[in-house]
Amino acid sequence: MQAVTFDGHGGTGVIDYRTVPEPDLGADDVLVDVRAGALNHLDVWTRRGMPGIDLSMPHVPGSDAAGVVSAVGASVTRFEPGDRVAVLAGVSCGQCEFCRHGEPALCASFRVLGEHVPGVHSERAAVPADNLIAVPEHVDWETAAAAPLVFQTAWRMLNTRADVSPGESVLVLGASGGVGHAAVQIAAHAGAEVFATASTEQKLQYAAELGADHVVNYTETNFADEIRARTGKRGVDVVVDHVGEATWDDSLRSLAKGGRLVTCGATTGGRPETNVQRVFWNQLDILGSTMATPGEADAALEHVWDGTFDVRIRDVLPMRETARAHELLENREGFGKVVVKPDNELD
pTM metric for this prediction: 0.94
* Segments of the chain scoring below 70 in pLDDT: 346-347
pLDDT reported for residue 179? 94
pLDDT reported for residue 89? 92
In this predicted model, what pLDDT tens digit does every residue of 283-292 receive, in sequence order?
Answer: 999 999 999 9
pLDDT reported for residue 101? 85
pLDDT reported for residue 346? 67
By CB neighbour count within 10 A (0-12 exposed, 13-18 middle, 19+ buried), where does 80 fall? Answer: exposed
Domains defined for the chain, CATH in brackets:
2-147+311-345 (3.90.180.10), 151-288 (3.90.180.10)
pLDDT reported for residue 250? 96
